[in-house]
Amino acid sequence: MLDKTPKELYERKALRINPAKTCQPIGAMYAALGIHKCLPHSHGSQGCCSYHRMQLTRHFKDPIMASTSSFTEGACVFGGGSNMKTAVKNIFEIYEPDIIAVHTTCLSETIGDDLKTIIAQSQSIVPEGKHVIHASTPSYVGSHVTGYSNMVKAIVTYLAENTETPNEKINIIPGFVSPGDIREIKKLLQLLGVPFIMMPDTSGVVDAGMTGHYDMYPAGGTKLEDVKDTGNSKHTLALGSFSSEAGAAELDKKCKVPMDTLTMPIGIEAVDRFLMTVCKLTDKEVPYEIEEERTQLVDLMLDSHQYLYGKKVAISGDPDTVISMTEFVVSLGMIPKYIVTGTPGASFEKQIKAILVKAGIEEECKYKASGDLFELHQWIKNEPVDLLVGTTHSKFISRAEDIPLIRFGFPIIDRYAHAYMPTTGYKGAIRIIEMFTNAILDRQDRDCAEEDFEMVM
Amino acid sequence: MKNIVDKALEKYPAKTFKQRKKHIIVKDSENESQDIAANTRTVPGIITNRGCCYAGCKGVVVGPIKDMVHIVHGPIGCSYYAWGTRRNKATAEKEGDTAGENFIEYCFSTDMQESDIVFGGEKKLKLAIKEAMELFNPKAISISATCPVGLIGDDINAVAVQAEKEYGIQVLAFNCEGYKGVSQSAGHHIANNKFIKDVIGKGNKDFSDKKFNINILGEYNIGGDAWEVERVLNKIGYNVIATLTGDGSIERIKNAHKADLNLVQCHRSINYIAEMLEEKYGTPWLKTNFIGIDAFSQTLRDMAIFFDDEELTARTEAVIAEELEAIEGEVEYYSERLSGRTAFLYVGGSRSHHYQNLLSTFGVETILSGYEFAHRDDYEGREVIPFIKPDADSKNIEELKVQKDEKNYRVIISPEKLEELKKVIPLNEYKGLIKDSPEGSIIIDDLNHYETETFIKILKPDMFFSGIKDVFVAKKMGVMAKQLHSYDYSGPYAGFRGAINFARDTDMGVYTPSWKYVTAPWKTEPMIVGNVEEEVASC
């Protein structure tokens, strides 16, 4: 497996190998799916749209809908305006969404299609009460996380309104996480008794159940009136600086809704901070049910510490989730030996560094933004780790080096049920520890001498 | 049935109705020529299943060649989505004493950034090639262009020429920008042209000590299909020089002109090469079908007829008998369990035809079929090729004209014999999907989401074979659905053993007890029995 990867490090400037990121539009498509009765639309050639739908379907094992402008060579020369208008007419008549959320690709961005103007010109074919919005998502900038962020920002730009009728709600932008994660965050807010708007919210859309009939627009997703009402909220919490901050900042700018950026509530400290922030903003107290979950988590951390303490971990994936995971790993007494995201951005390295410095382990760890899995593998070949935490793409390294992989983040395309399960909240942290200890104990059961085989562990 | 089609399309805006209607026909043998519109541009916003030219070139034809470094010149997405997602299996093969190479597990990209779009990406591409050489020292490199490359004017051909000189290896540049043509199909054509121009014919291996030298064209070894086919061919006594391109190797492909016969499995993706190999080197091609027990047996017999060798013919019959005997019981078992059911088949450019035979082996009737991106000849047969009008969207895809290669051209079979053979076996010809489709079945080109949902509701098939974007839609509608691109991570489905794998997987899908639980018990059983009785009594 991966036999061509040499141990000797080699500094690459141009050749990207086995990336730890993908391109913007898929993130925008995912964000748009979090709006109720919204059809994502890809303004480019149709290959992108097919690929993005495929990858999301493979992750969620559920239908993922989106339309495309289906550029031809001619459209590249004359612009994609007429493709877009034809698409808008067809989409509203045939598929009847309430809103079309357009994103772009490297094609329409390179030729410089002016979507604002195209959409303005299309208004006559947009049915009463329906909307067309757009985000610019050039694939040659940032990553899929950037695309998510750009679409969230665009949703705010087009739709959020401050009508000066305060709703006393907290806006939550959950970031690029699974519906299981979003459900868990909503559960915490409900237990706290805090009125909130979760936006975008893919729960009930990409994890819809089996009923025997197909709903093109499932029950889930943030309702349009709630999207608009985000402008009347008293505060916005952006979970994850990379995926959520831009949207929250736009709400602040456009509707004067103050904001805070928090790390994604993955791991004990991040969840503590999340709850403390919400309580301070709303004068609520943490109820017993949540407190009990936390006591269980700490109980578990102490019960299982002998298997985790000092274990070295390589973590790769998207910046916001990797930052939180790094912090959690540290709080378990583990060493986040290598930390990689494919997404560019200086703030990743800054935030990771702060965690490592605080723990006094910066010297022993390597971290990199805009890195890739080829380089991560080379690091591991030079000094191995005990656990890998990453997406499905890490399974090659896992097999090549015989290191257990904890599947975490996006995408996980080779396992089932994960999108139902949270990694957020104390419940999610409990689940992560279960995955960690199961992997380590399975390994011990498999590898130990027969006379060392244990009944109780 | 015709009325059903019109009714199904009622919802379309007038212009879309007019466009889509031409892409749908109902099989009617009374009607001598049934024209279907195909290979035309996709209707924007219609929710097509189609992909792009890059996917057809790099993803399908070029990518499976295992011993090359395939560099995708573009932003990261294109290379990322083609990374491990098409199941073209490959293993490294030893050449003499040197360990073979296999780069299938890797994904290579120039990961273009904003500055590359603004200032051009050639410099980065050159550096990427240099880095690939220093890290891997591969035998050959491919460069595949993506959407922005053509727009900003990067000359990947010039980069390839320069790199060939500098490193002394073959560097193949493919101008397969995603917007070219109207689907994956343009990418096949572009890849075919390059192989004919720059790869096939470069090899000097001598096969004169071997009999029955063949190539397998348009077989991508999904889930090990090519291996299963080769197992049987080798058993009969054939020597496979090259497979294009499943488990393919650049060295083998260079020698492909040495074969006596080309087998064409996927007509759409490889017919250009098949045709040009005949013109340039004199190699005839045979339309084969490895899918389905009867179809595969027929293919093996057709091959024996072509080579006309007593021993080979005897061996062919012996192997067929042996293979059939081994699976006889299973064929019977699955036929009993599956027969009488109906299916929809919607796959890329060839499987919707090939799988009809396999389904009918187990008593399943195909009531709707279609292709994403096939051309009229794949539907109607190659005899319509002279009547296909090229349209504006595909006119920029090069129609390569080849000349007879004076040095390597061979008369393998006399022209008279060839004409005779054409009467009995499908030599240099393909009859298309329509002729083989059941009477009254619906055939749809570029089937979209609306039509999928509508026809499932109207015709209520028992099973739906399509791709990843469709299967969960059908499943949610209560229809058993399986992927016929990825085989739902199973396979092989080709050959005799593959037929049984397919039947086993389909049987699992039909008989999984999970279907019984879709409706919760409280939806069908009265919860408070006493109250109901009381109400009845009071009536």
Nearest to B291 by CA among B465, B460, B91: B465
Counting one residue from A and one from B, how many pairs have CB atoms under 8 Å apart?
252
Q: How far is A323 from chain B (nearest CA, A)?
A: 22
Cα A190 off chain centre by: 22
Split at pLDDT 50, 70, 90, the class of B529 is: low
pLDDT of B38 above 80: yes
Position B479 in a domain? no
Cβ contact, residue pair B46, A89, below 8 Å: no
For A:73-132, CB contacts with B below 8 A are: 73-76, 83-84, 86-91, 93-95, 105-107, 110-111
pTM summary value: 0.97
Split at pLDDT 50, 70, 90, the class of B94 is: confident
* Domains of chain B: total: 1
**Domain range holding B115?**
53-198
Nearest beta carbon to residue A46 from set B42, B148, B473 = B42
Given a contact cutoff of 8 angstroms between Cβ atoms, the answer to whether B68 and B100 are in contact is no
Cα B495 off chain centre by: 16
Position B523 in a domain? no
pLDDT in tens, B263-312: 999 999 999 999 999 999 999 999 999 999 999 999 999 999 999 999 99
Position B506 in a domain? no
Write out chain B residues lying below 8 Å of A50, CB-based: 48-52, 55, 469
Find all residues with CB under 8 Å of A269, minimum gap 6, and list them. A327, A328, A331
ipTM summary value: 0.97
The reported pLDDT for the residue numbered A230 is: 98
Give the chain B residue whose CA is nearest to the CA of A139.
Answer: B75
Given a contact cutoff of 8 angstroms between Cβ atoms, the answer to whether B346 and B369 are in contact is yes
Find all residues with CB under 8 Å of B330, minimum gap 6, and list them. B500, B503, B504
Give the chain A residue whose CA is nearest to the CA of B120.
Answer: A110
For B:15-44, CB contacts with A below 8 A are: 16, 41-44
Cβ contact, residue pair B151, A41, below 8 Å: no
Split at pLDDT 50, 70, 90, the class of B96 is: confident
Q: Which of B86, B301, B315, B341 is catalytic?
A: B86
- Give catalytic status of residue B8 as yes or no: no
Cα-based distances in Å from A163 to A114, A129, A230, A254, B289: 29, 18, 10, 12, 66
Tell me the mean pLDDT in the region B130-135.
Answer: 98
The reported pLDDT for the residue numbered B127 is: 98
The reported pLDDT for the residue numbered B3 is: 85
Which tokens sit at B378?
């794949």
Write out chain A residues lying below 8 Å of B75, CB-based: 23, 106, 138-140
Write out chain A residues lying below 8 Å of B453, CB-based: 214, 216
Distance CA A374, CA B8 (A): 50
Cβ contact, residue pair A21, B76, below 8 Å: yes
Nearest beta carbon to residue B396 from set A73, A107, A216 = A73
Q: Is A128 exposed, middle or buried (0-12, 13-18, 19+ CB in 10 A)?
A: exposed
Q: How far is B523 from chain A (nearest CA, A)?
A: 11
Helix (H), strand (E) counts: chain A: 18, 14
Count the helix, strand and coil residues of chain A and give each as a percent rounded to the nearest 5.
50, 15, 35
Position B180 in a domain? yes
Q: Which of B20, B188, B257, B485 is catalytic?
A: B188
Which residue ranges of chain A lie beneath pLDDT 50? none
Split at pLDDT 50, 70, 90, the class of B530 is: low
pLDDT of B190 above 80: yes
- What percentage of chain B exceeds 70 in pLDDT? 98
Tell me the mean pLDDT in the region B240-268.
Answer: 97
The reported pLDDT for the residue numbered B33 is: 78
The reported pLDDT for the residue numbered B43 is: 98
The reported pLDDT for the residue numbered B99 is: 79
Given a contact cutoff of 8 angstroms between Cβ atoms, the answer to whether B42 and A47 are in contact is no
Position B96 in a domain? yes
- Give catalytic status of residue B326 as yes or no: no
A45 lies within 8 A of chain B by CB: yes
pLDDT of B130 above 80: yes
Cα-based distances in Å from B125 to A166, B72, B74, B118, B486: 54, 9, 9, 15, 32
What is the gyration radius of the CA atoms in chain A, in angstroms? Answer: 23
Classify B371 as helix, strand or coil.
strand
Cβ contact, residue pair B476, A214, below 8 Å: yes
> Which residues in A289-418 belong to E strands, given as ranges?
312-317, 335-341, 366-368, 387-390, 405-407
- Backbone dihedral angles phi then psi of residue B339, each to the nearest 5 degrees: -65, 155
Count the helix, strand and coil residues of chain B and give each as a percent rounded to the nearest 5.
50, 15, 40
Placement of tokens 């919490």 in the chain: A237
pLDDT of B538 above 80: no
pLDDT of B527 above 80: no
Position B345 in a domain? no
Tell me the mean pLDDT in the region B346-352.
Answer: 97
The reported pLDDT for the residue numbered B532 is: 52
CATH of the domain at B155: 3.40.50.1980
Domains parsed from chain A with CATH numbers: 24-159 (3.40.50.1980), 170-208+216-282 (3.40.50.1980), 298-449 (3.40.50.1980)
- Give catalytic status of residue B86 as yes or no: yes
Given a contact cutoff of 8 angstroms between Cβ atoms, the answer to whether B441 and B367 are in contact is yes
The reported pLDDT for the residue numbered A293 is: 98
The reported pLDDT for the residue numbered B533 is: 52
Q: How far is B478 from chain A (nearest CA, A)?
A: 5
Cβ contact, residue pair B147, A105, below 8 Å: yes
> Which residues in B246-359 belong to E strands, given as ranges?
261-264, 285-287, 342-347
Tell me the mean pLDDT in the region B497-519.
Answer: 98
Nearest to A153 by CA among A136, A170, A172: A136
Q: Is A78 exposed, middle or buried (0-12, 13-18, 19+ CB in 10 A)?
A: exposed
Position B66 in a domain? yes
The reported pLDDT for the residue numbered B531 is: 56
Given a contact cutoff of 8 angstroms between Cβ atoms, the answer to whether A222 and A151 are in contact is no
pLDDT of B534 above 60: no
Classify A341 as helix, strand or coil.
strand
Cβ contact, residue pair A67, B47, below 8 Å: yes
Placement of tokens 């520890």 in the chain: A433
First CA to last CA across chain B, in angstroms?
Answer: 46
